[in-house]
Amino acid sequence: MGAPAVADRPTDPPSRNVTALLVTTGLMYTGWDLVTPFVPLFVLDLEGGDPRTAAAWSGVAVGISPLLSALAGPIWGAFAERFGGRTALLRTIVTSAVLVTLTAFAMSIWHLVVLRALVGLLGGFYVLIHHLAAQATTRDRVGQTIGSLQAMQMTCLALVPPFAGLLIDRAGLRSSFLLAAGIMLVAFAVLWRFYRSTPRQPVRVDEPGVKGREGATPGGRKVRTPYWRLLARGELAIVALVVFSAQYVDRVFNALVPLLVVELVPGSEQIGFLTGLILGLGAGATALAALAAGRLARRVSPHRLLVGSLAAGVVLLPLLAMAGSVWQLLALRVALGVLAGGSMTLAYAFVSTLVPANRLGASFSMFASCALLGAAIGPLSLGPVAAFSLRMPLILGAVAFATCMLLLLKLGNPNPEITRLSSEPDPAGAS
């Protein structure tokens, strides 16, 4: 008999690489969380303290970066496929550090908006870190690795902004941009020193989920599917909608929190503290949920868990919209984080049961672009949607979650044989 046809795949779970990615992620999000939540304050300063003009420009300055990052995601995903994920990620870290440094010296609103646009267009960190995460682990650990990345991101969001606020009060807003750039350069050094491109070894194309799909042929020849054409598969389009909806809900709620706090406790001198408390505890709950979801997805069907997570969001988002006090808002936000905060992690885990191993990097890059698109549409759409009601975006989020849940229920679990891999040894990783 001839040798079995093969496709590329990592040899085994390289824990050193995963650890390097987690540390790099933590450092990069520490840098971003030092500055991104305070972009509206920067706009207010550049516009001479006019709150109406600042509100209009803040949505543009905050939303344009993830929007362009989503649109440029396919380019950087293809760059990583051709030149290697490590090289691509090192490039984006240096680019981000340079642009953040330049932002510290912005003298007009146009300087800020152009630099934020370049961060999105030339960055691509969110897309590329997911691309590398798919390469640095085996199929049965994908959910756990992505969950760890999501938890790191949310932990930084929970812890960094309060300390950033103290820094800004003492040293000025622009100093936080310079500190953020320095931290990003540390992230560059960590990735350069500790992450090593993983040697690849053959994997059988008759592995469940690989035979007959894009990326491998019986002759061993790799067929590259255009990045966004992955969405032509109905099940992947549904997961893309889940990822988009989860990020839309998260970002639109974060933008709504200060407005809701002002509405619930008008005239309070603790607006900033209460806003930070809700954002911080909510992010912490989401981080814990992402970690738990990643581990649980190795033993329970990601499809089933994802449906349950979305169902929790369908129930809790309308309750959030009806919150009558700050403490109700806080309690419901924490509950939403615990019960629905694992949606993104579970979506990636579910994708790992649908896509052959040698296409995980490209598919994860594409879904990361969908997430960035949701993160952009959230703040950009806040003004028009909230014109009807300040709480209307939460109702729209519930509708989006319900739609995703119904589509997943109709789809079912299209690849139960791959789901069972989570409880079986990985043949490619066996020695």
Contact between residue 22 and residue 147 where contact means Cβ atoms under 8 Å apart: no
Exposed (0-12), middle (13-18) or buried (19+): which is 269, by Cβ within 10 Å?
exposed
Dist CA 236 CA 241 (whole Å): 9
Q: Give the Cα separation of 287 and 378 in Å (integer).
A: 20
Q: CA-CA distances (angstroms) from residue 287 to 22, 78, 168, 294?
A: 13, 30, 26, 11
E-strand ranges in 289-387 read: none
Angle of the 234-264 helix axis to the 392-411 helix axis, nearest 10 = 160
Q: What domains lie within the chain, and their CATH numbers? A: 10-199+227-423 (1.20.1250.20)
Dihedral of the CA atoms 301, 304, 309, 312 (nearest 10)? -150
Alpha carbons 284 and 188: distance in angstroms, whole number: 26
The residue type of 57 is W
Model pTM? 0.65
The answer to whether the CB of 287 falls within 8 A of the CB of 139 is no
Backbone angles phi, psi at 324, to 5 degrees: -105, 0
Q: Could you list the pLDDT tens digit for every one of the 431 residues in the chain?
A: 444 443 334 444 457 888 899 999 999 999 998 888 777 777 767 876 555 565 567 777 878 888 888 788 778 878 887 888 888 999 999 999 999 999 999 998 899 999 999 998 988 888 788 778 877 777 667 767 877 887 788 788 888 877 776 777 778 778 889 999 999 999 999 999 988 876 544 444 444 444 444 444 444 444 455 555 666 677 888 888 999 999 999 888 877 776 777 778 876 666 667 777 787 788 888 888 888 888 888 888 888 999 999 999 999 999 999 998 999 999 999 999 999 988 988 888 887 777 766 666 667 777 777 887 888 888 777 667 766 777 888 999 999 999 999 999 988 776 554 443 343 444 333 33
